[in-house]
Structure 1
Amino acid sequence: MDVSFRIAMPADVPAIRALVESAYRGDTARQGWTNEAHLLSGERTSDEEVAGQISQPGHHMLAAEAEGRLIGTVAITAKPPRHCYLGMLSVAPSLQAAGLGRRLIAEAEAAARRLFGAEIMEMTVIDRRPELIAYYERRGYRQTGEIRPFPYDLAEGQDFRMIVLDRVLT
């Protein structure tokens, strides 16, 4: 499959939000291996959050397209002076485990270096996702030992925490 990558634009907000929701939550998400549907219900993001990630200074989203459709996305947020945060990595559930996530991570890391001069990429993963943490560790990320509170009030009585991982960008 021929995949192209570009910086997302405001007109992409509805398609990006739909992709993120399909990758993380609900029955569609269960088609892939990276979903949170077994842990969380409700919406994963909002139009406002996606729009902010596209248009606010220090924020970018990359869009991956094939055959004229959005198939993946990832958010990059500058954390000066040397860091960027990688978030909302989403691949269409039917295309997961085909290498697109790895390519999106590599594109995000290159963009973080190019756009923000980043030397370190950081991310967080729900502590209940050891298989996802292992995936990122295979991509060169390491657990920093830092644990952050879960940022959403969607956990319905669960005591979720966020594991911080980072990687030196070379």
Structure 2
Amino acid sequence: MTLSLRPATAEDIPALHALIERGYRGESAKRGWTHEADLLGGQRTSTDELSGIITDPDQVILLAQSGGVLIGCVRVMRQGDGSAYLGMLTVDPVRQAGGMGRTLLEAAEAEARSRFGVGRMEMTVISTRSELIAWYERRGYRLTGRTAPFPADVQDFGDLPPQTLEFVVMDRAL
């Protein structure tokens, strides 16, 4: 498989939005192991949010393509404290468990170092996602002991489950 990585552009937004939704929400997401479909309904993101990320010089979304087909993405955002934030790590559900997540994670870390000159990567993971937390720990990330509230006031998430969701903060030196 020939893989190419590149920053997303405005022209990529429709395909990018479809990939992220398919990877995180709905029945299609359940074909993979990293989904949130059992926890959350509604949208994971919007085309407006993706447009804002793509036009922000302090952020980039890297796309992974194989044979011209979008199969994964990851967001990297400069933070003001010498770190970058990693988010929206998405692999098409039918291609998960094949090493693409690790490839995107490594590409995001390299991008954070080269584009933003940072020495630390930070991310948040829903606290109940123990398998996903363990996956990141195997790649050198650690739980910081900090948590962040889940944005329950955002309407696009659909009907939130009765339990209270929160994020754990993880980080890694680059």
TM-score (norm 1): 0.97
SS in 2 for 1:11: helix
Aligned 1:20-169 pairs, distance under 5 A: 20-153=20-153, 154=157, 155-169=160-174
- Per the TM alignment, residue 52 of structure 1 is displaced from its structure 2 partner at its CA by 1.2
Query: Does the Cα contact within 8 Å between 2:39 and 2:161 map onto a contact in 1?
Result: no
Kindly tell me the number of residue pairs found equivalent between the two proteins: 169
- Per the TM alignment, residue 152 of structure 1 is displaced from its structure 2 partner at its CA by 3.9
SS in 2 for 1:70: strand
1: CA distance between counterparts of 2:138 and 2:55?
A: 31
What is the root-mean-square deviation of aligned Cα atoms in Å?
A: 0.9
Greater RCO (Cα-Cα under 8 Å, separation 6 or more): 2
Query: Does the Cα contact within 8 Å between 2:74 and 2:87 map onto a contact in 1?
Result: yes
SS in 2 for 1:42: coil
Gaps of 5+ in 1: none
Deviates more, 1:51-60 or 1:153-162: 153-162
Q: Kindly, what percent of the aligned residue pairs are identical?
A: 50
- Per the TM alignment, residue 157 of structure 1 is displaced from its structure 2 partner at its CA by 3.1
Gaps of 5+ in 2: none
2: CA distance between counterparts of 1:28 and 1:3?
A: 23
1: CA distance between counterparts of 2:28 and 2:75?
A: 21
Query: Does the Cα contact within 8 Å between 2:72 and 2:89 map onto a contact in 1?
Result: yes
Q: Which amino acid counterpart does residue 61 of structure 1 have in structure 2?
A: I
- Per the TM alignment, residue 53 of structure 1 is displaced from its structure 2 partner at its CA by 1.3
